[in-house]
Structure 1
Amino acid sequence: MITLTRLNGKTFTLNAIYIEQIEAFPDTTITLTNGKKFVVRESVEDVVVLVKNFYKHISIIGLPRDLEGLEDEK
């Protein structure tokens, strides 16, 4: 899950697995796989970093940073 900020300043948590695309119109708009859209204060680049970190945390891409190097010790 990633925490984002709506344009009105309220934060919410989004399951990043359901993100289909992220665009700037110029506000950052996130479209989910079900077609629902969210407009957020964070930049496209910031959202991409949050998503990548989430994927790493749940081990979809690479190992979590705190576990890197431990694989070699096994």
Structure 2
Amino acid sequence: MIELHKLSTQREPFQLNCDLIERVDASPDCHVTLTSGQRIAVTESVDEVVAKIRAWRVDVLSRALRLAR
């Protein structure tokens, strides 16, 4: 799961399962669209969201490789 922040007055953090992300758009604010069709406006940029997803996947794969040994 990655931590993002909702685009609201409180900018509250939330954890999101990366496997539920369908796409990430900038229009002009960054919106994460889930496989359910729900859209969430976040404070992070598209590049930041993609970097968090990449880092999470690298971590998961590296842990799996360590366990396989």
| TM bracket (short chain) | 0.7 to 0.9
Q: What residue number does 1:70 align with? A: none
Give, in angstroms, the shift of residue 17 of structure 1: 1.1
2:56 is aligned with 1:54: yes
Instruction: Give the structure with the larger helix fraction.
Output: 2
Unaligned runs of 5+ in 1: 68-73
**Which of 13, 17, 36 matches 1:11?**
13
The TM-score with structure 1 as length reference comes to 0.78
Q: How many residues align?
A: 63
2:34 is aligned with 1:35: no
- DSSP-derived class of the 1:58 partner: helix
- DSSP-derived class of the 1:45 partner: helix
Spell out structure 1 runs of 4+ moving beyond 6 A.
Answer: none
CA RMSD of aligned residues (A): 1.4
Structure with more contact order per residue of length (Cα contacts < 8 Å, sep ≥ 6): 2
Q: Who wins on radius of gyration, i.e. which is larger? A: 1
Give the % identical residues: 35
Unaligned runs of 5+ in 2: none
Give, in angstroms, the shift of residue 36 of structure 1: 1.1
